[in-house]
Amino acid sequence: MTDMQKKSFGTMLSPIRAGQHMLRNRVIMGSMHTRLETEPDSIARQIAFYAERARGEAAILVTGGFAPNAEGMFDPEGPRIDDPEDARSLRPICEAVQAEGSLICAQLLHAGRYAKIEGCVAPSPIRAPINRFVPREMTDADIRRTIEDFAKAAENAQAAGFDGVEIMGSEGYLINEFTVTHTNKREDEWGGSAENRHRFSVEIVRAVRERCGSDFLVIYRISAADLVEGGAPAEEIADLARKIEAAGADILNTGIGWHEARVPTIAYQVPRGAWRQAAANVKAAVSIPVVASNRINTPEIAEDILASGEADMISMARPFLADPHFVKKTREGRADEINTCIACNQACLDFIFSDRPVGCLVNPRAGRETEFRDSPTESPKKVAVVGGGAAGMATASEAAMLGHDVTLFEAQDKLGGQLNLAQAAPGKDEFNETLRYYGGQLQKHGVKLRLGQRAGSDDLTDFDHVVISTGVTPRIPDLPGIDHPSVATYAEILSGNRAAGDTVVVMGAGGIGHDVAEFLVTEPAETHNTDAFCETWGVDPHFTTSGALAGDPLAPKPSRRKVVMLQRKTSKAGAGLGVSTGWILRNALRKHGVEALGGVVYDRIDDAGLHIVMDGEPKIIAADTIVLCTGQEPERALAEELIAQGVTVTMIGGAKEAAELDALRAIDEGVRLAQSL
Ligand code: NAP
Ligand code: SF4
């Protein structure tokens, strides 16, 4: 029995009563935008998506947000539930989930001033910094009609077969906009005092309860920390929680941070469980179950929060993309087989922001369930996979799971390839979970591991299929002085084989350049300790102040080193970073005083430092260390040798295409190749 199997997750797995329902455990799959609603075969894909997560035994699944009326739509394509006929088309999704023993609740989300539509509405006509549309101030009649729209939407959901609804009252959407002075400047009965600002939320809950009866589950998602100036202090949040309970809600879920907040809330830079105290504050005010959410991604942290009494239930969203069977594996003593969400946002939020259906970096099946099969192959092959990085591990474990006879060669004495480097960046040690997961899968499915063995063509003669996933090597620019002792590759720095000095030049401002710069300036505690994280980003660790802020999230931080980051392009440094994490990286570097210079021409390196030309002027940037983050070249020596011998090989990952290689493409290619063997 492994250490993980010996651990007890008794609280998390124990039933709990909510309203008229006895829930099978204390885990909710939280609401996520999926964009599956607008895909071809929308209903079939949603059935596959939600039913798989119900088979994984989450007690309640909450859908992505449905607008209760046209002006509340997230964007012109966004899902809505104001038409009873349309709502009924969702019935097969509900039935599929319920057949697997889970409850399903439709989230009702009015986007308010975040709606990316002409004619969006808000309590007051104040534009959101993340939206170009200026909202129209709602009239008293608008407000009363919208309360009625929420009630009708809940009724439509009930008629379609949903077990309940979650009323979205957090993250800065319409309901949340009413509750705080940041966005509510009204002087009528819907603004001013807390009593007035809370009226809209309370009336919605009351109307939904009255319309749908006592056995319809009503979850209200309360903002437990707004993280914006003019946000609610803890006593107002507690006061609202009590009113929501009295109005008839069965469960209080918690949300953290408005979308316009300048504090990271769910990305990998946030310590696990960082927001648990915010949920505990809400729990202290009410007697209905309170749910903790955000940056909870393992059964250990979930159990710890529940067992310590800080919350009654846990909501996890992205962890159910990464592994739909999170709860089932935990119940079966297989928690060490969970594919853990690494909080990278690369294929979930970033896909949604680029109008693609939701996906997951560590689980290519997420949102694409109908494209993959789990049944064993009818024609098992002998497969060699050369290179044990993300692409190779994904290929080998998937192929072996499907019944192929797989041997994985890795020249290093450990698996992981570039993931071993990536995990050194602040917060990216979450990648160690991916390494743990694949290590376990390779063993479970009987992959023969040849670690510390650089495969040659002689080793590969006896296979039906040879997969080359030999990865990349750092690109070394052709520059006079490039072999100067001050020069190091990103691989040497991140692996710890070389230490950087006090003044550093980072050449290259792509994803790795930013990671290396952050690694060089950040104290490890800032991403692993909640108090240090709160201090860095200006958050009140007790969550009692207005908006739970205790300072300026962008205030400068002392840095371990002086770092200058350079690129030849004139575009903004980091323009290609992920939408949902790029701003955090850029702000973190700015806070730590990292200077980013573009439009640079590299000239040479010598004892004086890096010689460049900028705006036609020659300059010298003195540096103890110059780190090359100048891209990668594919490692194809073996592939070329084999091809020359007439051996058929399939190249994937960085070996196939080094440009823009990341773990997302590597794992996706690996799994899809294995499926096609
Ligand atoms: P990248 O993002 O393409 O950046 C490469 C950098 O090297 C660019 O700044 C480029 O800028 C510079 N460069 C390229 N050729 C050069 C040359 N011959 N001489 C000098 N400079 C040169 O690639 P990466 O940073 O190596 O990252 C690899 C992949 O991993 C990318 O897909 C990246 O998006 C991904 N990744 C993402 C993240 C993240 O989003 N947080 C983190 C790590 C990695 P100039 O040409 O303008 O100088
Ligand atoms: Fe988690 Fe990253 Fe997958 Fe999103 S893409 S669910 S953050 S692992």
pLDDT at 2 over 60: no
Q: Which residue has the tokens 């079939």?
A: 44
| C-alpha of residue 653 to centroid of ligand 2, in Å | 19
| Fold matches, 3-371 and 478-523+560-630 | no
pTM for the model stands at 0.95
Each domain of the chain, given as residue ranges in start order, spans: 3-371, 382-473+633-676, 478-523+560-630
- Ligand 2 and 311: CB distance under 6 A: no
pLDDT at 375 over 50: yes
Q: Is residue 535 classed exposed, middle or buried when 0-12, 13-18 and 19+ CB atoms within 10 A define those classes?
A: middle
pLDDT at 5 over 90: no
Which atom, in ligand 1's list, is nearest to the CA of 585?
Answer: 41
Which atom, in ligand 2's list, is nearest to the CA of 345?
Answer: 7
Tallying the residues shown for the chain, one arrives at 677
- Between 481 and 658, the more confident residue is 481
pLDDT at 177 over 50: yes
Which atom, in ligand 2's list, is nearest to the CA of 342?
Answer: 8
pLDDT at 193 over 70: yes
| Amino acid sitting at position 141 | A
CA–CA gap between residue 194 and residue 237 (Å, rounded): 10
- Ligand 1 and 471: CB distance under 6 A: no
Share of the chain above pLDDT 90, in %: 91
pLDDT tens-digit series, residues 547-599: 999 999 999 988 889 999 999 999 988 888 999 999 999 999 999 999 999 99
Ligand 1 binding pocket mutation candidate from 512, 569, 577 (most atoms within 8 A of CB): 512
Three-class DSSP labels, 40-94? CCHHHHHHHHHHHHHHCCCCEEEEEEEECCHHHCCCCCCCECCCHHHHHCCHHHH
- Ligand 2 and 344: CB distance under 6 A: yes
Distance of CA 484 to the CA centre of its chain: 40
Ligand 2 binding pocket mutation candidate from 294, 341, 419 (most atoms within 8 A of CB): 341
pLDDT tens-digit series, residues 516-545: 999 999 877 777 899 999 999 999 999 999
Q: Active site includes 173? A: yes
Largest CA distance in the chain: 82
pLDDT value of residue 573? 87
Cα–Cα–Cα angle for 195, 188, 175, rounded to 5 degrees? 55
| C-alpha of residue 318 to centroid of ligand 2, in Å | 6
CA-nearest of 481, 489, 370, 460 to 646 is 460
pLDDT at 266 over 80: yes
Share of the chain above pLDDT 70, in %: 99
Closest-CA residue, ligand 1 atom 19, reads 477
CA–CA gap between residue 164 and residue 259 (Å, rounded): 25
Closest-CA residue, ligand 2 atom 5, reads 360
Closest-CA residue, ligand 1 atom 5, reads 631
pLDDT tens-digit series, residues 416-463: 999 999 999 988 999 999 999 999 999 999 999 999 989 998 999 899
pLDDT tens-digit series, residues 216-249: 999 999 999 999 999 999 999 999 999 999 999 9
End-to-end CA distance of the chain: 34
The secondary structure element, H or E, covering residue 212 is: helix 194-212
Which atom, in ligand 1's list, is nearest to the CA of 507?
Answer: 21
CA-nearest of 427, 111, 61, 63 to 258 is 111
The secondary structure element, H or E, covering residue 55 is: helix 42-55
Average pLDDT over the chain, rounded to whole?
A: 95
Ligand 2 binding pocket mutation candidate from 272, 348, 353 (most atoms within 8 A of CB): 348
| C-alpha of residue 631 to centroid of ligand 1, in Å | 5
Mention every residue, 6+ apart, whose C-beta is less than 8 A from residue 616: none
Structure confidence at residue 6 as a pLDDT band (50, 70, 90): low
Of 50, 173, 438, 602, the active-site residue reads 173
The secondary structure element, H or E, covering residue 195 is: helix 194-212
CATH architecture of 478-523+560-630: 3-Layer(bba) Sandwich (3.50)
Structure confidence at residue 660 as a pLDDT band (50, 70, 90): low
| C-alpha of residue 377 to centroid of ligand 2, in Å | 28
CA–CA gap between residue 46 and residue 41 (Å, rounded): 9
CA–CA gap between residue 275 and residue 294 (Å, rounded): 7
| C-alpha of residue 296 to centroid of ligand 2, in Å | 12
Ligand 2 binding pocket mutation candidate from 323, 342, 363 (most atoms within 8 A of CB): 342
CA–CA gap between residue 147 and residue 165 (Å, rounded): 15
- Ligand 2 and 322: CB distance under 6 A: yes
For 475-572, strand residue ranges (E) read: 487-489, 503-507, 562-566
What region, left, alpha or beta, does residue 383 occupy, with left being phi > 0 and alpha being psi -120 to 50 degrees? Answer: beta
pLDDT tens-digit series, residues 316-364: 999 999 999 999 999 999 999 999 999 999 999 999 988 899 999 999 9
Residue 575: count of CB within 10 angstroms of its CB: 13
CATH class belonging to 382-473+633-676: alpha beta
* C-beta of residue 512 within 8 angstroms of C-beta of residue 473: no
Closest-CA residue, ligand 2 atom 1, reads 341
DSSP label at 337?
A: G
Which atom, in ligand 1's list, is nearest to the CA of 598?
Answer: 47
- Which tokens is 593 given? 């005083």
- Which tokens is 456 given? 């040659």
- C-alpha dist (Å) from residue 168 to 148, 174, 201, 310: 15, 9, 10, 22
CA–CA gap between residue 42 and residue 191 (Å, rounded): 40
| C-alpha of residue 392 to centroid of ligand 1, in Å | 22
DSSP label at 478?
A: -
- Ligand 2 and 341: CB distance under 6 A: yes
- DSSP, collapsed to helix, strand or coil, labels residue 528 as helix
- Ligand 1 and 631: CB distance under 6 A: yes
Mention every residue, 6+ apart, whose C-beta is less than 8 A from residue 214: 19, 20
CA-nearest of 262, 124, 256, 274 to 186 is 124
CATH class belonging to 3-371: alpha beta
| C-alpha of residue 345 to centroid of ligand 1, in Å | 19
CA–CA gap between residue 38 and residue 269 (Å, rounded): 32
Q: Which residues of 301-336 are buried (b: 16+ CB within 10 A; e: fewer)?
A: bbbbbbeeebbbbbbbbbbbbbbbbbbebbbeebbb
The secondary structure element, H or E, covering residue 480 is: none
| Amino acid sitting at position 84 | P
Mention every residue, 6+ apart, whose C-beta is less than 8 A from residue 58: 25, 27, 28, 29, 102, 320, 326, 327
pLDDT value of residue 1? 46
| C-alpha of residue 32 to centroid of ligand 2, in Å | 12
State the alpha helices, DSSP H only, in 291-403.
299-307, 318-322, 326-331, 349-353, 390-401
- Which tokens is 523 given? 């104290």
DSSP label at 133?
A: S
Q: Which residue has the tokens 């691989």?
A: 491
CA–CA gap between residue 434 and residue 444 (Å, rounded): 15
